[in-house]
Amino acid sequence: MFLPAQPIYPVAGIREIEARAMPGAKPSLMERAGRAAAEDAVRLIMDRPGPILVACGPGNNGGDGFVLARHFRQAGREVVAAFADDAARFPADAATAYANYRNSGGDTVSSLPAAPADGWALVIDALFGIGLTRPLEGRYAQWVDSLSRVPSPRLAIDMPSGLDTDSGRVLGTCFRATHTTTFIALKPGLLTLDGPDHAGEISVQRLDVDAAGWLQPLGRAVRPSLFAHRLQPRRRNSHKGSYGDAAILGGAPGMCGAALLAARAALWLGSGRVFAGLLDDAAPRVDVAHPELMLRAASALPEQLSALAVGPGLGQSDSAHGLLSAAITRDLALVLDADALNLLAADPALQAAVTARSAPTVLTPHPSEAARLLGCDTATVQNDRLAAALALSGRLRAHTVLKGCGSIVACPDGRWFINDSGHPGMASAGMGDVLTGLITALLAQGWDAECALLAATHLHGCAADRLARDGIGPVGLSAGELIGAARSLFNGWLTEAARNGF
């Protein structure tokens, strides 16, 4: 059964939900949060004896920690609560949580204690949660660094301290959790940029709050349920013309492999026919490994196509510019990748032409390509990947995937998605070409741009994950190996969708 696509909220959204749900809530949201985190923590220490270290900060995240610590004390576990601030400055709910902990017999220490002889059963980061907006420094930076080195399960409450909730950017230093219990809903920073390296395994505890009932989310995690209605079995009475003509335009001298990878991916994901238009006049006109592909000169692609991708191995020659300009004027689904994006960034007239298109346009930039399109540097894009993807999508009226750890899919209407499939073994040449081919295949088969982009992006990462589970990678995984795994997974999705009546 396909899992639902969980909502994602930035800090402002979470704050709005809390403000609406909190008045009159009994028990309080903090009491629910501390108890829920304790339930997750119990699962981490089922067979681990020894004391639990809880590092509590000066705000509501610290209050969550004191609720958790109280529950463990009442359950008979030894708890050490480290707290180095002034309890008189606590917000009201956190002050209540602190007082209840002290009234239960709990005490605090003002510095991190040395680990006991047999080590900690668990260390818990309840320092700053979602509220942190500036780099950690001084005592708390030292605490985070020390806690991150403890060789035991490490649980972050709501967010790892030092991780920007909205962007996933490390603020100076950051707690490196093995597990994170987050409250109400997912946050962008857990899923993109540095987040996955610091959050570990994520548990969402909703605290009996219907987040979407209080505030409709603009963001969601990518899951097959988002495009399951498109996963339809093929009619027996069909032919190659039923599944579209896809084309890949690129393959300048020395870069034909990029175009062929994209074309092979489009073929193996079900396009009825696949053409590859190559700029390299000396390139062979047959792909011996896949003779089903129809190789052409770049200027000789058919007029009647269902979807066209421009960019894999395209180069930035005058010929490439002219071919891109002509492609933008065509009334068909268009994917722009690699050097097509670089040419677009350098030519305002091409950008205006893309913006004026009525047919679907999909952009697939990596962070440096996105920076060129936005007229900024790569660091600016990476510091707020979500904002960058939305800016591109809105400016060029295109569906956009900003590739990288936690790829961001942005729609022109302001909705967005974060994909969490895939692994670091995908940091390998040709992976983006394969993604372009997968997107083009689905567009050629009549999928709308949003569903095609979501499905291809998720499939791309899931295929890599499957290969890694089978012992292929992560180190040394090649782009070509991904294509067969993507085909197998996609057919599995079709079977699952049919079984569940989509």
Residues at the annotated binding site for (6S)-NADPHX?
Answer: 60-64, 129-135, 140, 158, 258, 313, 366, 433
The letter for the amino acid at 235 is R
For 88, residues 6+ apart whose C-beta sits below 8 A from its C-beta are none
Q: 220: which strand partners?
A: 7, 417
Tell me how crowded residue 446 is: count the other CB atoms within 10 A of its CB. Answer: 14
Is 3 in a helix, a strand, or coil? coil
Compute φ and ψ for 407, nearest 5 degrees: -60, 135
What is the rounded distance in angstroms from the CA atom of residue 175 to the CA atom of residue 159?
9
Element containing residue 340 per DSSP (H, E): helix 339-345
Residue numbering of the annotated binding site for AMP: 403-407, 432
Residue numbering of the annotated binding site: 60-64, 125, 129-135, 140, 158, 161, 258, 313, 366, 403-407, 432-433
What is the rounded distance in angstroms from the CA atom of residue 177 to the CA atom of residue 198?
5
By the 8 A CB rule, do 36 and 9 touch?
no
Phi-psi region of 53 (alpha: psi -120 to 50; beta: other; left: phi over 0): beta
The letter for the amino acid at 133 is T
Instruction: Show the CA angle centred on residue 79, arms to residues 77 and 84, nearest 5°.
Output: 170
Q: Output the 3-class SS for 218-280.
A: CEEECCHHHCHHHCCCCCCCCCHHHHCEEEEEECCCCCHHHHHHHHHHHHHCCCCEEEEEECC
Could you please report the per-residue DSSP string of 437-498? HHHHHHHHTT--HHHHHHHHHHHHHHHHHHHHHTT--STT--HHHHHHHHHHHHHHHHHHHH
- For 186, which DSSP code? B
What is the rounded distance in angstroms from the CA atom of residue 290 to the CA atom of residue 218?
42
Q: 157: which strand partners?
A: 181
What is the rounded distance in angstroms from the CA atom of residue 395 to the CA atom of residue 15?
29
Compute φ and ψ for 121, nearest 5 degrees: -70, -35
Residue numbering of the annotated binding site for K(+): 61, 125, 161
What is the rounded distance in angstroms from the CA atom of residue 119 to the CA atom of residue 45?
13
